[in-house]
Amino acid sequence: MTKWTTIAKHEYTYNVRRKEFIFLTLGMPLFIMVAMGLPVLLAGSSISHAEYRIGYVDKTGLFEPGNFTKYTDEELAKKNLLDNKITHFFVIPANYTATGKITIFAGKKDLMGRTVESQIRNFLIDNLLKRENKDVVERVKTPINSEYVTLNEKGETSDGGLSDFIVSVAFAVFFMLSIFTSSNFLLQGVVEEKENRVMEILLSSVSYRELLIGKIFGLGAVGLTQILAWLVIGLGILTSNPVVFAMLLDRMHVSIPLLLFAFSYFMLGYIVFASIMAGLGAVATTSREGQQMAGIFSLIGVIPMMFLQFILTNPGAPLTKILSYFPLTSPITMIMRLSTAEVQYYEVVLSTMILAVSAIVIIELSVKVFRASLLMYGKKPTLKEVIRYLSES
């Protein structure tokens, strides 16, 4: 094991075991769930489809019961509903075929009313088309099973157009979230290191560069762990509802190259931001102070989100090009462009290279600032001094 990986490992385990980390990582989804998701979740899981007992009152004489209970008397249906013998019933008026109007009565307030509706819908279609062949009935129920194909000059590429776009937006959100949360860990981690004064012992074993790189990767991984935990919890909740899960699976056809690009842009972009944050941590005396400076960089990172519409509609415009080469904005911009339009091969290579080189340069600059400001316990270097450190060879 090299020394920087030893440091990264230490930083990771030391910080992941922080109470605040565990609290925030588990607390945040819990909070969101309680705040908004819980009622839906409870409703969705407490009344399963099998528990629906649906009755109906038919005034047209067209409908045969199937799984539903037929009532001739509306008063009896109401009584049965109140006695909990059925969970819902609906009334089909005589002029139904002309208006499509029905009235649904429910025993309890039902947040998942749409599942009931879809059962009723299928019941109505089955009855209305009872003379049609089964396949036609199925088609009427789900008329489209879509697959997107984007045509280009060379022939066809069968990508999921909409899915790719969703992936790019998800990428952007995920990237920004990662940066915002990790900047916290990096700033705090570096500022604390200056305070706890272990630094000099470490520096008698490793170089400034190894120390900083170890910190960037270790603390960066802490940020990613948090984001991944949120993602897993989020997906877990989503997919715990089988209907939503099936729908997601059905809709997702993402091109593999896009995912690979997304991964490499994410990693490189993340390293760039993490290195900046570590450098800021080296300059700042308190993590609050670092946060303010970090805010500026994070804001620059959000620019592609603000120009979302513009980027998507003008993939070849100069502004779009600049944004897709500038290292702080290129990951999000490039993934958006890649998901919606053809991007020249060389452009991807060039922007990736710029990103990689910037990561290295920024790490080197951060090392310099780190070195220059480290032993000035509690003393904040002025902007002029920082510029001097950066220009010193």
Partner 1 sequence: MGNTVEVSNVSKSFNGQFVVRDISFDIAKGEVFGLIGPNGAGKTTIIRMLLDILRPDSGGLSILGSGLTDDIKDRIGYLPEERGLYQRLTVMDTLAYLGALKNKQSKRRTLELLETMGMLSHKDKKISELSKGMAQKIQLIAAISHDPEFIILDEPFSGLDPVNMKLVNDLILELGKRGKTILISTHMMDQVERMCDRIFMIHKGNGVLYGSVGEIKSRFGKNTILLEFDGELKDIKGVKKINHSGNYAELLLESGADTQDVLKTIASKVRVSKFELSAPSLNEIFIQVVEEA
Ligand X SMILES: Nc1ncnc2c1ncn2[C@@H]1O[C@H](COP(=O)(O)OP(=O)(O)OP(=O)(O)O)[C@@H](O)[C@H]1O
The CB-of-162 to partner 1 minimum distance in angstroms stands at 48
- Residue 148 touches which of ligand X, partner 1, none (Cβ within 5-8 Å per kind): none
Q: Using DSSP, state whether 92 is helix, strand or coil.
A: strand
Closest Cα partner for 179 from 52, 81, 272, 41? 272
| The token pair that represents 3 in the structure block | 């020394």
Q: Does 246 bind ligand X (CB under 6 A)?
A: no
Residues 6+ apart with CB under 8 A from 293: 280, 283, 284
Size of the site for ligand X (CB under 6 A): 2
CA 196-372-288 angle, to 5 degrees, is 50
Distance (Å, rounded) from C-alpha 222 to C-alpha 225? 5
Residue 347 or 385 having the CB closest to partner 1: 385
Q: Does 203 bind partner 1 (CB under 8 A)?
A: yes
- Residue 41 touches which of partner 1, ligand X, none (Cβ within 5-8 Å per kind): none
- Residue 207 touches which of ligand X, partner 1, none (Cβ within 5-8 Å per kind): partner 1
| The token pair that represents 102 in the structure block | 């029905």
The CB-of-335 to ligand X minimum distance in angstroms stands at 44
The CB-of-315 to partner 1 minimum distance in angstroms stands at 48
| Stretch near partner 1 under the rule CB under 8 A, chosen from 76-84, 122-130, 152-160, 194-202 | 194-202
Q: Does 235 bind ligand X (CB under 6 A)?
A: no
Closest Cα partner for 81 from 47, 106, 46, 113? 106
Q: Does 383 bind partner 1 (CB under 8 A)?
A: no
Residue 246 or 375 having the CB closest to ligand X: 375
Question: In this chain, which of 94, 375, 380, 388 binds ligand X, going by CB under 6 A?
Answer: 375
Residues 6+ apart with CB under 8 A from 77: 55, 56, 57, 71, 86, 89, 105
The answer to whether the beta carbons of residues 122 and 141 sit under 8 Å apart is yes
Question: In this chain, which of 31, 245, 263, 377 binds partner 1, going by CB under 8 A?
Answer: 377
Q: Does 386 bind partner 1 (CB under 8 A)?
A: no
Q: Does 376 bind ligand X (CB under 6 A)?
A: yes
Closest Cα partner for 116 from 125, 126, 127, 106? 106
Judged by CB under 8 A, the chain residues 155 through 174 that form the site for partner 1 are none
The answer to whether the beta carbons of residues 216 and 367 sit under 8 Å apart is no
Q: Does 197 bind ligand X (CB under 6 A)?
A: no
| The token pair that represents 327 in the structure block | 């290292």
Give the β-pairing of 54-58 and 69-71. Answer: parallel
- Residue 353 touches which of ligand X, partner 1, none (Cβ within 5-8 Å per kind): none
Element (H, E) at 219: helix 208-239
Q: Is 2 left (phi over 0), alpha (psi -120 to 50) or beta?
A: beta
Judged by CB under 8 A, the chain residues 10 through 29 that form the site for partner 1 are 10, 14, 17-18
- Residue 80 touches which of partner 1, ligand X, none (Cβ within 5-8 Å per kind): none
Tell me which residues touch partner 1 (CB under 8 A).
1, 3, 6-7, 10, 14, 17-18, 196-207, 210, 375, 377
Tell me which residues touch ligand X (CB under 6 A).
375-376
